[in-house]
Amino acid sequence: MQPSAPRSPQIEASELADQTRLGRLLSRLENDPLQARELLGGLSPELRGRHSHRIGITGSPGVGKSTLLARLISHWRSLGRRSGIVAVDPSSPFSGGAIMADRLRWVELAGPDVFVRSLASRGSLGGVSPGAGAVAALIEAAGYDPLLIETIGVGQAGFDVLALADTVVVLFSPESGDGLQMLKAGMLEAGDIIVVNKSDRPGAETMLQEIRNALELLSPADQDSAGPQWQVAVLPVSAIDGSGVDQLTGSLEAHRLWLNGLPAQHPRRRRRVRGELVYTLRALFSLRLEQLFAAQLEELAANVQDGRLSIWDAVEQLRSALLPADRA
């Protein structure tokens, strides 16, 4: 039997209620995601039982993700709800730091009922920081619900958000291209709710219809499972003037209720948990791999550059060192 993880001193609700102290705990997680098991294991039973509605927001740069998030936060604030945001910013390829971490556009939303955390993507190909899952878990333990996760990119660069979110909103604008191309890129398959932002611009109605036509070509992933199927909502929204935001919040609530009504063994529930498990394992494994083999990677890179090894020879050396019992 494996020994249990060492427990840090129990973290109580009063500690997470202080945004400054919560921020310090999150910094520990972001700087060293390998601490997640110990730190989250120190949450009191009350805090471990808290679960937020996690909403992933993804879309290409320039479609208005941040403006829409501000609208959503304002809506929930008017209802007296405490909301959290995990915003994953592009990382500098040199320092690893977030390029846009200041999030100046959200300063006006700051307050005790809104908690915003910017994370650097740190090179993650899926657009989500390696520590984002643990950060999200700690913020929801602090009682922020809903919890919004904004990611860079879309398509392959935004798919990892699926592993962390209960509901995924994919944003497009009238300039995003035609629906068939989105389907080929896998963009439409990612969303539970599809939003065409900037719907007051020319071409928005055409874009909406193309998306609806493209969605008809898709088969629901859970079509053979029992119970009602979720019908992907396609909504016109203008985050600038707020039109369509009420319909979006209504669809988000409808999707939350649909999820809550699913049987425990429904494929959607299992896929969500499995996805987060795989994502977390891959992120932490990648981080640990870089730490363990940093020196060896430099040596192998020099050998490849000098022509003494091929890329695949170098990869095989690393694989054999990592998995000696699995030699070809």
CATH number of 50-266: 3.40.50.300
Pick from 36, 41, 44: nearest CA to 16: 44
Cβ contacts of 281 within 8 Å, gap of 6 or more = none
Integer Cα distance of 148 and 141 in angstroms: 14
**Per-domain residue ranges for the chain?**
50-266, 277-326
Given this model, what pLDDT does residue 13 score?
A: 82
Q: Report helix, strand or coil for 61.
A: coil
More confident residue, 328 or 317: 317
Question: In whole numbers, what is the pLDDT of the chain averaged over residues?
Answer: 80
Quickly count: other Cβ atoms within 10 Å of residue 178's Cβ: 14
Integer Cα distance of 41 and 141 in angstroms: 12
pLDDT tens digit sequence for 157-189: 456 666 789 999 999 888 766 555 665 556 777
- Is the pLDDT at 140 greater than 80? The verdict is yes
* DSSP structural state of residue 115: E
Integer Cα distance of 140 and 137 in angstroms: 5
Label the pairing between strands 147-150 and 233-236.
Answer: unpaired
Share of the chain above pLDDT 90, in %: 30
Q: Which two tokens stand for residue 260?
A: 């809550």
Residue range 114-132: mean pLDDT, rounded: 67
Contact call for residues 89 and 121 (beta carbons, < 8 A): yes
* Prediction pTM value: 0.83
What is each CA distance from 230 to 52, 186, 256, 269, in whole angstroms?
20, 18, 11, 13
Alpha helices in 116-230 (DSSP H): 132-141, 161-164, 179-184, 204-215
Contact call for residues 236 and 246 (beta carbons, < 8 A): no
What is each CA distance from 83 to 14, 26, 113, 208, in whole angstroms?
18, 16, 6, 29
